[in-house]
Structure 1
Amino acid sequence: MSADLVQASNLWPFIAYIAAILVVIAAMLAIPHFLARPTAVRAAGEPFESGVVPAGDIHVRLTIRFYPVAIFFVIFDLEAVFILAWAVAFRETGWLGYIEMSIFIGVLLAALIYLWRIGALDWRTERQKLQDAQLRI
């Protein structure tokens, strides 16, 4: 047997597998077409599960103030994954792992304090801050 014939004989199971996949996909697309009964549904335009009738446009513009808070949430939530992984391997890491995680948590706390001090976590606008200051006077 030549090398080309051996390669071709090893390739036929893969070709048969791809053909079987295509047949199954075609059957999955064709069977509902033949079995479905075309009926006019009275409640076709009504809400399905929530029961709330949509009002207005679904494309609502959010203010830019929501995005930094969302980004900070994702960042600090991702750090929870690292802390969880450290907690699972706590005994294997020993004191060195404990010191490294303490430094990591310290950096996170420093970042959180920095964000808090610069007002990145504050929801109020400058106008609202001025109004609050005027009310205090």
Structure 2
Amino acid sequence: MASVAANYLPILLFLVVALGISGAFVVLPMIAARFTGADKPNPDKLAEYECGFPAFEDSRAQFDVRFYLVAILFIVFDIEAAFLFPWAVSVFSIGWVAWGAMMLFIVELALGLAYAWKKGALEWE
């Protein structure tokens, strides 16, 4: 029974260290802000510094849904590239079944692209 518990000791140690480090990343900046005075806002600290002038409208404005569709399509094809490159390196050693599976995957993605194109997800006005 002691050997089973000893096998889980590295996992427990990893979790304790991870929680300690993540807790330090949360707590230490707050403590440093208290000592340096960074937590006391004033008008100069709250002024616009990136563009130099106040925003024209509310910063919580809604985005068009097509923005999200394009972002999702980008992620899908980025994942395709992540799968395609390692497969292309090892295609000759993994056999015809893997080749057929990747061709099915590429056809599925092409059908998805054709569907998105037909629905107008790639059109921008």
Instruction: Give the TM interval when normalised to the shorter protein.
Output: 0.5 to 0.7
- In the alignment of these two chains, the number of paired residues is 101
Q: Does residue 53 of structure 1 match 2:39?
A: no
TM-score for both structures, normalised by structure 2? 0.52
Higher RCO by CA contacts (8 Å cutoff, separation 6 or greater): 2
| Unmatched segments (≥5 aa) in structure 1 | 1-13, 125-137
> Counterpart in 1 of 2:7?
none
1:62, CA displacement in angstroms? Answer: 1.6
Partners in 2 of 1:37 and 1:44 — Cα distance? 11
Aligned counterpart, 1:96: 97
Residue identity over aligned pairs, in percent, reads 32
Q: Per-residue deviation at 1:60?
A: 1.4
* 2:63 is equivalent to residue 62 of structure 1: yes
Mind listing any 5+ residue stretches in structure 2 that lack a counterpart?
Answer: 1-12
Task: State the AA in 2 paired with 1:94.
Answer: G
* C-alpha separation in 1, matches of 2:122 and 2:32: 55
Change (3 A) 1:113 1:54: same
For residues 8-19 of structure 1, what are the structure 2 equivalents within 5 Å?
Answer: none
User: Which of the two has higher C-alpha Rg?
Assistant: 1
Q: CA RMSD in A?
A: 3.8
TM-score, normalization by structure 1: 0.49
Match runs of 1:1-137 below 5 Å: 28=28, 33=34, 36=36, 43-48=44-49, 50-55=50-55, 56-124=57-125
Between the aligned partners of 1:110 and 1:41, the Cα distance in structure 2 is: 55
